Amino acid sequence: MESRLNYFGNAVAGKVMKHLNSASKVVADSTLPVATQELVKIRASQINGCGFCTDMHTKDAIAGGETQQRLNLVAVWREAKVFTDSERAALELTEQGTRTADAAGGVSDEVWTNAAKHFDEDQLAALISQIAIINAYNRINVINQQPAGDYKPGMFG
């Protein structure tokens, strides 16, 4: 599979990615737990069918010490016993925030209230931002048909 265009070599795309990457750095430097950040990125990428991001973030999670068992169970997190209550709240917020077109009401008050029990205001801001940013990356890669499988942890600095 070949990508539709060399997105990573395009000047306009480079400017867009610079801003997305800067926003990602703000979230990465927040107090939102790194494991939660990666789980959010993986789950949104699975929902959106983004092979590139799923490959990237599962490999980054492993490099960061995540277990293979937990990664294997992200797609079925509701039935898995390996996630904390705060991770489960973040995964539910991710699903509803990613599937806004499918859920006429957007994110329910119940899901928001549950997330707010586990995260402070700065962490909630980081969580919302992480969901939005990964959805943007997913859409870029899906539209461009960016192939998956060649990512090496840290290759983008």
Q: Is 145 left (phi over 0), alpha (psi -120 to 50) or beta?
A: left
Interval 123-148: pLDDT, tens: 999 999 999 999 999 999 999 999 99
pLDDT tens for the chain, 157 residues: list them. Answer: 789 999 889 999 999 999 999 999 999 999 999 999 999 999 999 999 999 999 999 999 999 999 999 999 999 999 999 999 999 999 999 999 999 888 667 899 999 999 999 999 999 999 999 999 999 999 999 999 999 999 999 888 7
What's the rounded Cα separation, in Å, for the pair 134 and 53?
Answer: 8
pTM: 0.95
For the chain, which residues make up each domain, given as ranges?
8-144
Domain 8-144's class?
A: mainly alpha
